[in-house]
Structure 1
């Protein structure tokens, strides 16, 4: 049997822990600081900070231009007759685009460098560096708000965070740590738990941020962002115990790390299926792109006619959307009792497709919430794909794999923003919900790919452990 098939032995090598026993593996994991609190803290702070920064850009740029309107007085009315507001919207969107693009491209190179590096030196150095970069970005944002510095310093903060790995490296380190310590048959659920932590963080950030901003302005919420990011750095440095079995020194600035990411998909070998890696990665890209794209336009869809939702209904809708993380987690656990993981992903895709179709034709509040209800298993697909990809590579390649997936998520965000945000205004004249319908159609592609792989080659990851 291949050496990498053996369960990981804790570095401490404590007495009474036998390799291979699930109870011993569980006890070993409990002695480690779990990575879930770290991901929750970093995600909560970032998801609180991002909309605050966008709203601050709107208010600050509007104030610089002498515009103090909110654009909400007319409810569902047309605001296109206000050229000053359009100028503020355009400038705000441009700055948001510059900030997002700078973080993505810098983070693309740093994450693919740091992820493979963590396969050698361990996950803790990666997580400490990435969370420290996010804390530095939060500190600069707070200075911009309190000292009224030029908004270009927000761009500088994002660049510095990108150099340290950005949020992509936090995701890469977190999911790789889960893969390091989880048994193969439990990995899908552990990944789903981690994704549920991200969803809960987003739901809490959405609820707290909006109410706090209206009550006290920008300064105190940004202080909370900084405090939580500093707490994440402290947990990464002191609370999280290393999950890599035998960390060893390695050079950081070397092209070998980039080559290891490339080799995941390009280097042939009897131990892995490049076909499965490529097709599951493509499925992941399409699923996450639709998820990000639909999320971007939900609020616009609800604000406009005929729904004309107010802030209270929008808040309930956002809570229902994030609740899908928990319902998908419970549904995945229940479906695993009777279905293989691949078919669980198919059920999740079916839930996503049905929900988007209903949302695309929703003209009343009950129908819109019915669409949200049908999305209750929509997030069961991505943890399955992550776990399947993790099982296709070796223990020493988990950091490289999840770093590449984190960069794919960043690319998904840019692709979704470009496609869905452009398509929504272009299709208002003939079908306002067309982008949701398009998203449902796109999801048929990963559904076909995953179904095909399950039928013709359901468990390629186990071929590497068969003695030849």
Structure 2
């Protein structure tokens, strides 16, 4: 009896650990580097004044200028990664349906290691922060983190049946939370003690370890491998056919609707997550690196609590209604965070988000069940493209909305995100109701049932 394939969870954990360390550290590095260039920072006391109760207008204006500048650089970096990753993910994803998942896991992990190496050079040599964009583009050329996500979820779809798939997908997403929590707590304390460079060495090491695990430990999950050309339009056509093939029209319609719901949900998730650090750095919260680490850990804890909640709720509810409860948790938490002016209220908002990640594994599993085994790579490549588009829209909308709303409500982007989440809640509920009505309509009425011999004699 053949040994079961090694699980992809360790690889996803390592890649997410690298990403979870890199995101907040890079944002804080940009904050201090760009703030120091404009005379705003802890060394000259302006940071202290800006977070105090003095209400100094010039300091507040300087702080808002630095916040806006950091927000814009995050936008440029994410834009560069999106446009490159859009083409590479849709190339590598369908290609993995033929040649296997391992190549599509090794390449992006190596790309993440290269990106971390470039970030380290920027910090060591004090290069212009535009080199962050170069590192992001190089990582995007090799598929970036989105390809790792797509390939891991396709790997799980290859090795599970429809009954167990939702929970296995949720376990993968829980790995995101565990790695993110470790990265947030460790990264915040490490950054406070030793600065940026040493934690970034762990980013590089984790990415490299993920590549080595995919190379030497992970067994192939695609049973019928066959050689296939990489640079061909057929891979892009495979993604296109998912949504346009005439067979099973109702499935294709649900595929599009679930993808729209997923797009809106992940856009809000990415957009608000990008702003948490800036929101916590600014007045009136004025959090230090350790509190930022605890806050990020609290947000990642939602992955674990959502996994437990999903498992319990599945005992008495359909997956759809579990997703709806998760969306209610997400909406409520964002509303509280949008009004947070104290540390206690901010952590209360994080606590209300405890089921906020229950909706995404349900949607991923439902998407996977709508296509065949041979289309899983193409499907999750398209989902990765949706996630890349989410990153683009999230950074474009939320990172532009944040500086524009600073003068009237600093938490407005979180309130905006809560309102947007009402749309996927409506879509998911409508599909479930439509499916129930459709199934009910298949029951024949009494007049259409064949008559028994006794009924025929009575007539």
Smaller-chain TM-score range?
0.7 to 0.9
C-alpha offsets along residues 156-180 of structure 1, whole Å, 9 cap, x if unaligned?
A: 2222211111111111111110111
Which of 81, 98, 101 is the aligned partner of 1:123? 101
Residue matched to 2:261: 283
SS at match of 1:81: helix
Aligned to 1:53: 26
Match of 1:318 in 2: 296
* 3-state SS, counterpart of residue 73 of structure 1: helix
Q: 1:194 aligns with which of 172, 179, 184?
A: 172
Counterpart of 2:445 in structure 1 is none
| RMSD between aligned residues | 2.7
Query: Is contact 1:284-1:385 (8 Å) kept?
Result: yes
The 2-side partners of 1:287 and 1:101 are apart by 19
Q: Any idea what SS the aligned residue of 1:240 has?
A: coil
In structure 2, relative to structure 1, the CA distance for the partners of 1:428 and 1:68 (3 Å cut) is closer
Other-structure match for 2:245: 267
In 2, are the aligned partners of 1:113 and 1:257 still within 8 Å (CA)?
A: yes
Q: How does 1:99-248 map to 2 (within 5 A)?
A: 99-248=77-226
Matching residue of 2:5: 32
Give the corresponding residue for 2:41.
Answer: 69
Q: Distance in 2 between matches of 1:252 and 1:458?
A: 42
Cα distance change of structure 1 residues 45 and 316 upon mapping to structure 2, 3 Å threshold: closer
- The answer to whether the Cα contact below 8 Å between 1:303 and 1:310 also exists between their aligned partners in 2 is yes
Q: CA deviation at 1:253?
A: 0.2
**Once structures 1 and 2 are overlaid, which stretch shifts more, 221-230 or 234-243?**
221-230
Q: TM-score, normalised by structure 2?
A: 0.86
- Residues 391/271 of structure 1: CA separation in 2 closer, same or farther (3 Å cut): farther
The alpha-carbon deviation at position 374 of structure 1 amounts to: 2.0
Deviations 1:167-200 (A, max 9, x none): 1111111111011111211111111111111122
Q: Secondary structure at the match of 1:72?
A: helix
Please say if residues 108 and 139 of structure 2, whose CA atoms lie closer than 8 Å, have aligned partners that are also in contact: yes
Pair 1:457–1:66, CA change in 2 (3 A): closer
Whole-angstrom distance in 2 between the partners of 1:222 and 1:207: 14
C-alpha contact 2:88 2:143 (8 A) present in aligned 1: yes
User: What is the CA–CA distance in structure 2 between the aligned matches of 1:146 and 1:344, rounded to whole Å?
Assistant: 47
Larger radius of gyration: 2
Secondary structure of the residue that 2:48 maps to in structure 1? coil
Asked if 1:44 corresponds to 2:17, the answer is yes
* Count of residues in correspondence between the two structures: 433
2: distance between equivalents of 1:207 and 1:238?
30
Aligned partners of 1:156 and 1:433: how far apart in 2?
31
CA offset at residue 149 of structure 1? 4.3
Could you tell me how far apart the structure 2 residues matched to 1:303 and 1:90 are? 13
Unaligned stretches of 5+ residues in structure 2: 440-459
Alpha-carbon shift at residue 310 of structure 1 (Å): 5.2
